[in-house]
Amino acid sequence: MKVCFETFGCRLNRAEALDLEAEFLARGWERTEGHSDADLVVVRGCSVTRRAQRDCEKLIEHIKAKYPLKKVVVTGCLPNVDKSFFLKKQLTSGETPVPTRTARAFLKVQDGCSGKCAFCIVPRFRGASSSVGFDAVLDKAKRFIDAGYREIVVTGCNLSLYASQGRRLPELLAALAGLSPACRVRLGSLEPSEVALDVVGVAAGRPNVCRYLHVPVQSGANRILVSMRRPYFARDVDELVRRAQAEIPGVALGCDLMTGFPDELDLDFRATKSLLSRHPFSRVHVFPFSERPGTVAAALPGAVPKEIRRARAKELADLADERRAAAARRFVGRRVEVVVEEEDGCAGWTSEYFWCACPHARAPRKSLVSVLVRSVRGHQLVGVPV
């Protein structure tokens, strides 16, 4: 029996898909890339934006139309998921394998969100926050390390909400980093909070925690953040960034920004652009606001014309592109650590989340290689193994 996986969206979706894939393989199934020879197609969808949901639904319709007799199971964050789908015999923890196909391990530690953000539809699909047990997380991380992984990517719907056995994300990060100095640990995004500040303190003293912090800022205007129902203000972003820069040597920063939220004035947009300008964000995801039916934001007055949303997004993206290129150039002459992603080559992500390639060099996939950066190509670092 053959199974094909189609996965959309975030790292959490990817982690869940890889876990499910590993369980299928443990039961004797064969993974295939094509729909035509698959006995089962599992689509893990994403609804974070209207466009993402539409892309998922188009693929599902295409598969069902082309292969009307084929079994298609829809999971993930979509309205019509197949909630009855499950693997009938539950594997024990000793039987449950860890995924081994990717170069970096994706470790799910938390799901769901208790937040009430006005624009977000994800809690409708994932529910309230829940956390994987502290000991279970460490056990799986150890098995990833035993399988040869040299980077573990910690994933969740809202990592700041992790809580198990009286321990929070900072304690979990410290424990994961302590498992092996040869395996680095990367966190997903963290909202400005006391938890995020404590995470900075943990990362500061542990060199195998990746030197990268991603903050889902969304807006630099306080009145828009209030309208969005975000649990922080612009000054909290400033404090978190300053703390990270002061305590974590060589930290790189990333953020998410949204333009055109209802009633966003030019003054509000300039506040967001000012926030982007005053901090050295080297990786920025910019999104024009997208109305999601069923969310509070979809019914708010003061809709910003779509052409203005897009123009503002382009202005921020162009600025972010320039700043990322400038940040890449500062690596020339420095050494970086790269987890090799390719089967036949030497390229991968640095701790600071820059892609680095070593032309004509070879290194084992999953290995952690020290590279001297010689030049850059846009945002990409180019170097030689040392």
CATH of the domain at 208: 3.80.30.20
Is residue 51 domain-resident? yes
Using CA of residue 232, residue 16, residue 81, residue 63, what is the dihedral sign?
positive
Task: From residue 298, give the alpha-carbon distance in Å to each of 13, 91, 288, 290.
Answer: 25, 42, 14, 8
Q: Are residues 55 and 141 in the same domain?
A: no
pLDDT at 189: 93
Please choose, from the candidates 285, 371, 358, 366, the residue with its C-alpha nearest in 3D space to the C-alpha of residue 331. 371
Is residue 304 domain-resident? yes
Is residue 21 domain-resident? yes
Q: Are residues 293 and 342 in the same domain?
A: no
Mean pLDDT of 217-237: 98
Q: Are residues 273 and 367 in the same domain?
A: no
Is residue 153 domain-resident? yes
Is residue 84 domain-resident? no
Half-sphere exposure of residue 385, counting CA atoms within 13 Å on the CB side? 17
Q: Are residues 111 and 250 in the same domain?
A: yes
Residue 252 CB partners (closer than 8 Å, separation 6+): 211, 212, 213, 282, 283, 327, 352, 353, 354
pLDDT at 79: 81
Residue 137, pLDDT > 70, answer yes
Q: Are residues 59 and 177 in the same domain?
A: no
Residue 182 CB partners (closer than 8 Å, separation 6+): 150, 208, 368
> How far is Cα of residue 106 from the mean position of the Cα atoms in its chain?
10
Q: Are residues 251 and 380 in the same domain?
A: no
At 217, which helix (H) or strand (E)?
strand 212-218
Are the C-beta atoms of residues 44 and 85 closer than 8 Å to each other? no
Q: Are residues 112 and 62 in the same domain?
A: no
* Percent of the chain at pLDDT exceeding 70: 97
Q: Are residues 194 and 137 in the same domain?
A: yes
Q: In terms of pLDDT, which residue wins out, 141 or 96?
A: 141
pLDDT at 87: 57
Per-residue pLDDT band at 312 (split at 50, 70, 90) = very high
Are the C-beta atoms of residues 354 and 348 closer than 8 Å to each other? no
pLDDT at 356: 98
Is residue 96 domain-resident? no
Q: Are residues 181 and 202 in the same domain?
A: yes
Q: Are residues 318 and 340 in the same domain?
A: no
Q: What's the number of domains the chain is made of? A: 3
Q: Which of 329, 348, 370 is the last residue of a domain?
A: 329
286 burial (CB, 10 Å; 0-12 / 13-18 / 19+) is buried
- Measured between alpha carbons, how far apart are the two ends of the chain, in Å? 45
Residue 94, pLDDT > 60, answer no
pLDDT at 326: 95
pLDDT at 52: 87
Is residue 82 domain-resident? no
Are the C-beta atoms of residues 285 and 188 closer than 8 Å to each other? no
pLDDT digits (tens, 9 = 90+) for 36-50: 999 999 999 988 888
For all residues of the chain together, what is the average pLDDT? 93
Strands 184-187 and 151-155 come out as parallel
Q: Are residues 347 and 368 in the same domain?
A: yes
Is residue 81 domain-resident? no
Residue 92, pLDDT > 70, answer no
CA distance 305 to 311: 10
Give the residue numbers spanning the domain of 136. 105-329
For residue 184, give the 3-state DSSP assignment. Answer: strand
Residue 91, pLDDT > 50, answer no
pLDDT digits (tens, 9 = 90+) for 50-63: 888 899 999 999 99
CA distance 221 to 233: 8
Q: Are residues 135 and 248 in the same domain?
A: yes
